[in-house]
Structures are given as C-alpha cells and as structure tokens.
Amino acid sequence: MKTSTRAVLGVVLAAALLIAAALWLGRTGDGSGRTVVRLRIWDENFVPAYRASLDAFERANPDVAVRITVVPWSSYQQKLRLDVAGGTADDLFWTNLYEDYADAGRLLDIGAALGPDAARAWDPSAVAQYSRHGKLWAVPQFVDGGTAVYYNRDLLAAAGIDPAELNTLRWGGPDDTLRPLLRRLAAVAPWPYNAAHDFQSIDLPFLGSAGGRFQDAAGHFVFDGPQGVTAYEYLVRLVADRLAPSAADTDTNRDFTKNAFLQGKLALLQSGTYNLAQIAQQARFPWGVALLPAGPAGRVSTDNAIGVAGNAATPHPDAVRRVLAWLGSAAGNRYLGLDGSSIPAVVADQQVYRDYWAHKGIDVSPFFDVLAGPRISSGGGSGFPVALEAIDQILGEMFLGRIPVPEALSRACAAADAAVAGR
C-alpha cells in the first residue's frame, strides 16, 4: 500500500473515531430509548437511599433513567465550579453554596419548575436558605438539625461525671463550668473536647452564644467584634491548654476529631446529625447525646440544609423537572430518613427519622431542642465560597497560636470582604 494511501486511510479512521467519540459523549440515552438524567452528590453513603428512591421513580417514569455520580467533598466545590463554567455539569447536583450560580443564571428556578405550592411541604429554614431575590433555587433534601454534644459514657464514668451535667454546661465568665469539667476529663482521656476551627459545629455556636454575628445585613463579615474575640479566645485557649487536639492535626484532617471520638480518645464531640449514623455504626463503647454548652448569650446553634439544584443548561428540562418533583415529594424524600442517615427536608417525613433512632434507643432530641432557642445564620451571598477560603487560611494560623486572636479576626474579616469585592 502506498504511503499516501495509508495516510488518507489514517485520516479517515481518525475522523471516524472522533465522530464516534463525540456521539458517545453527547448521547442522552442508555441504549433503551430512555432519557438519562445525572445526579451529582458528594457523599457515597447516600447512594443506597437515593438509589432506592430513584428506582421507585423510574418504575413510575419508565422513559427516564437517573444515574448517580459521587464526587468527594474534598474536590466537590472546585470541580463543580469548573464544570458549571465549562458546560459539563450534571443535570442535577447537590449544593449548599448556590448564590453565585443563581446570580449567573446557571440554575433552574424551582418555583417556576414545580409551582409556588411545592415549597409548602419543605422545612421552612431550608426554604429560607435556598431563597434569593424572591426565587427558590434548590429543592431541599435534608436538614442537619442543630448542634449537640456526643459523649463517651465510659470516659465520663472514669472521671466521675454524670452525663446529666453536660446539659447544664456554660462557657465563659465567672460561671464557666465547661473548662473545669474538661480538666476532669483530661485525667482520663487524651483529649477532652473538639475545640477547633470547625465552621458549623464549633465556630458558629460559640460566636452565636457569645452574642456575635458572622455577617451583617449588608453581607459584610463582622465576626471580629468583641463577642467574636471572646468566643475565639476561649477556643484557642482550650487548644493551647491541651484540652483539645492540636490545630496541626485538626486543620489538616477535618475528620480528625470524629475519628478520635470513634477510637475512644476524645470524650466530647460537639457536632451535628450528619455524624450520627457513622457513630452509631462504628463506636465500640456506650455513648449518648447532650445539649451543647451555653455561652454569655445563651445556647445558640445554627442549622443547615442540603438541596438539589437543577442545571439551567440541561438538555432534558422536562425529565429534570419530574425528578426534582419526585425528590421534593413526601414519597421520594422519605427514603433519606429510613436508615437514620439524615433528616428529610419534607416536614411530613421527619418523624421517620425520629422513629428510626427511637427504635435504636437513641434520644436525638438535643439536636432539635436547641433549635427552639436563638439561631445564628451561617451566612451566604455572592462570593461566599472564596470568602470562606480566605477566612480558613487566617483562622488556621490563629488556632496554631501564630496570630493573636483580635488581629487574626480583623484580618480574616478584611480578607473575606476583599475576596468578595474582587472575585
């Protein structure tokens, strides 16, 4: 065969392969004539519950197939930003930082897609979290409840502490009872408590119970006020006094304190319901749940919800609308609560979650009782993800003891505001 002939055949073959690859990557079915809708989440533990729910959806909607993609949390936000910008994001995806996508017209208007009455079934705090400029931008899937304290009964008993004492703890001021209790626990446990830079479980509850705020009404970061200094100086001192793990460990491994609790090395883990199922499955010691400590302004928690957003660029708007309607319905959402892994966002389904844990003999009321009191907003707005990145870098240094608390908070607020302004 002549060289020129081989060259022509090579070009033709390459073109054919490129066309085939393009057709494969751009296909919208699964070979059965069904429309394929893709859902992206960041926690593989939710795959069984979602698969059960979506299997029920597919039986009622045989023309649609829903595929689940898991992108680990460590890279989820960055990859999602790149994929949304590049037009390769899934049809549906979990979100908790949605504002930039909504403002850029990248998300489906849930009210327009499902009708204004759909939101009446959902947890009001979740609806408020995903509402912006008078529109709703995600279908709430599950809520975290409030923050509480997991405790190791064996370690408390070794220190001579009645678990009932935990429900009366206060931090700060002359009536501080948290620090003395932690000192008693320090005699029997490598680490008494998980004081660390943990935005939802530690930072916000301490800031709120000191009487502070994370952001003001205009969106400026204001946690550097006197209340913020009080809260963070208390936390940093706990770390410096070895009543909590070193920031060198907790800053590089966000699961460090949870793993330490599961290993029986941490006596008290202040956290949310998102760790409840794993603790129930893996803890090899008796444990319980208590109210979080109160501060100068009382006992204050935050709450959070995860929603599913619709990609405005989806080539399957009708199929996506039907999947969203199912995931936001009582019939579809209840699967997320059946195994106790999360609190369904559909209010009518939340009893399923409570019943599951009651059957296991675990009282989850501390996660709910705390929400009867004041709450602190976890913040948000355009540019919020980049602001958090700026804050994390500085507060990490603060918890390591390298920057004094007042200076670190002032720098962090300024850096966060600058990050939003310059994004």
6 pLDDT above the threshold of 70: no
Helical segments of 241-316, H only? 247-250, 256-262, 276-282
* Mean pLDDT score across all residues of the chain: 91
Same domain as 54, residue 167: no
Q: Domain containing 308 — which CATH number?
A: 3.40.190.10
User: Are 391 and 410 spatial neighbours (Cβ–Cβ below 8 Å)?
Assistant: no
In a domain, 282, yes or no: yes
Helix extents (H) in 164-214: 178-186, 204-209
Reported as a single tens digit per residue, the pLDDT across 249-302 is 999 898 999 999 999 999 999 999 989 999 999 999 999 999 999 999 999 999
* Whether the predicted pLDDT of 10 surpasses 90: no
- pLDDT for 26 equals 39
pLDDT tens digits, residue range 341-354? 899 999 999 999 99
Same structural domain for residues 184 and 279?
A: yes
pTM, two decimals, is 0.82
Q: Quick one: pLDDT at residue 11? A: 41
Cα-Cα-Cα-Cα torsion 338, 342, 347, 353, nearest 10 degrees, comes to 50
**Is the pLDDT score of 1 beyond 50?**
no
**Cα–Cα distance measured from residue 376 to residue 358, given in angstroms and rounded to the nearest whole number:** 28
Give the whole-number percent of the chain exceeding pLDDT 90. 83
Compute φ and ψ for 322, nearest 5 degrees. -70, -40
Bridge partner list, 70: 41
| Residues 116 and 67 placed together within one structural domain of the fold | yes
Count of CB atoms within 10 A of residue 2's CB? 7
Give the phi and the psi of residue 92 in degrees, each rounded to 5: -135, 145
Q: What is the DSSP letter of 403?
A: S
- Same domain membership, residue 268 and residue 210: yes
From the list 190, 195, 188, 194, the residue with the least C-alpha distance to 265 is: 190
> Nearest 5°: phi and psi at 376?
-110, 135
Asked if 227 and 172 sit in the same domain, the reply is: yes
Q: Which H, E and C letters describe 332-398, residue by residue? A: HHCHHHHCCCCEECEHHHHHHHHHHHHHCCCCCHHHHHHHHCCECCCCCCCCHHHHHHHHHHHHHHH
Residues 356 and 223 in one domain: no
In one-letter notation, the amino acid at residue 215 is Q
Q: Quick check: 267 and 243 in contact, CB under 8 A? A: no
- The total number of structural domains in the chain stands at 2
User: Taking a C-beta distance cutoff of 8 angstroms, is the pair 110, 137 a contact?
Assistant: yes
Domain annotation covers residue 45: yes
Are residues 284 and 189 part of one domain?
Answer: yes
Residue listed under structure tokens 């998102």: 274
CB atoms within 10 A of CB 9: 11
**Within-domain flag for 20:** no
Does residue 180 fall inside a structural domain?
A: yes
The number of residues making up the chain comes to 423
pLDDT in the model for residue 30 = 58
For residues 297 and 314, membership in a common domain is answered with no
| Tens digits of residue pLDDT in 107-143 | 999 999 999 899 999 999 999 999 999 999 999 999 9
Residue 239 sits in the same domain as residue 310: no
Could you read off the pLDDT of 355-389 as tens digits, one per residue?
999 999 999 999 999 998 899 998 888 889 899 99
Cβ-in-10-Å burial (0-12, 13-18, 19+) of 364 comes to buried
17 falls within a domain: no
Lowest-confidence pick of 4-13, 146-155, 194-203: 4-13
Strand partners, 58: none
Does the residue 411 lie in any domain?
Answer: yes
Is 256 found in the same domain as 213? yes
Q: Does residue 227 form part of some domain?
A: yes
Are residues 290 and 230 located together in one domain of the fold?
yes
Host domain of residue 194:
148-302+383-422
pLDDT band at 303 (very low <50, low <70, confident <90, very high): confident
Per the domain annotation, does 374 fall within a domain?
no
pLDDT given for residue 379 in this prediction: 86
Same domain? 57 vs 195: no
- Whether the CB-CB separation of 265 and 163 falls below 8 Å is answered with no
